[in-house]
Amino acid sequence: LGAGVAADITYTINEAKLYANNALKESAKAITGGTINLTLDDLLNEARAYALNVKKIEDGATPTWRTIGKSAPYVGIGFIEERIIDGVTKHLPTWVYKCQFAPQGKSAQTRGENVEFRTTQVNGEMMGVYPDTSGDVTFIDEKEFENGEEATAWINTMAGITTAMEE
């Protein structure tokens, strides 16, 4: 999509409580979905075409990117968090199995006296899948690696990417 600035995942929880003899006797809390909010340095046009159902129209030297009124496709997405744990840098990739992003509004501002960097927000709805025979509905997988190359390779494997991508 673009270079990551921040990623926030929030779960939707289905909650039920059973009271008996004037006290809480049982409770259940289960994840039923969630949201993923990504802040990016920019949203690349090819990524918009893939993840947001923006249509690329070849109509001259440069293409036109058209936002259309169709639902975006379901996609998987991954990101890698780098964190220092006990003095050691760890690379913590997260894979979201199924989500659907929606085109966001657009905001533009004229150049002023000071340079300002702007970022782009992309928000998606997470859904569960059954990735194996365990019978467990799954939303995300997470791992921990000592180096970034291993974390990137794992994300690429989850995404089905078999060749190195240019940066």
Tokens for 130, please give them. Answer: 């059954």
Q: Are 78 and 93 in contact (CB under 8 A)?
A: yes
Tell me the pLDDT tens digit for each residue of 45-65. 777 777 777 778 888 788 877
Q: How many CB atoms lie within 10 A of CB 63?
A: 14
pLDDT of residue 58: 84
Tell me the pLDDT tens digit for each residue of 119-140. 778 889 999 989 889 988 989 8
pLDDT of residue 92: 93
Which residues of the chain are under the pLDDT cut of 50? none
Q: Are 108 and 117 in contact (CB under 8 A)?
A: no
Apex 79 CA angle, 56 and 95, nearest 5: 95
**pTM for this predicted structure:** 0.77
